[in-house]
Amino acid sequence: MKRVLIILFVFILLPSSLFAKSPFDSRQDPFPPSIKVSVLPSKPVVFPGQEFKFYVSVIVEEGWHIYSLSPFPGNELLQTKIVLDEHVFKEQDVWKEPNPVLIRDGAIGKMVKGHRGNVEFSRTYLVPFGLAGNKYPLIGKLVVRACDNQVCSLPQKFPFHSVIQVEKSKR
Q: Write down all domains in the chain, each with its CATH number in brackets.
A: 32-165 (2.60.40.10)
Distance CA(112)–CA(103), nearest Å, equals: 5
Per residue in 38-65, pLDDT (tens digit) is: 999 999 999 999 999 999 999 999 999 9
- Predicted TM-score (pTM) of the model is 0.78
Task: State yes or no: pLDDT of 21 exceeds 80.
Answer: no
% of the chain with per-residue pLDDT over 70? 80
Give me the half-sphere count of Cα atoms (radius 13 Å) on the Cβ side of residue 161: 2
pLDDT surpasses 90 at 14: no
25: pLDDT confidence band, cut at 50, 70 and 90? very low
Q: Strands, DSSP E only, in the chain?
A: 35-41, 45-46, 51-60, 65-67, 81-84, 90-91, 101-105, 110-115, 118-126, 134-144, 146-147, 156-166
- Say what the pLDDT of residue 107 is: 84
For the segment 139-166, what is each residue's pLDDT rounded down to a tens digit? 999 999 999 888 988 999 999 999 999 9
The string of pLDDT tens digits covering residues 118-142 is 999 999 999 999 999 999 999 999 9
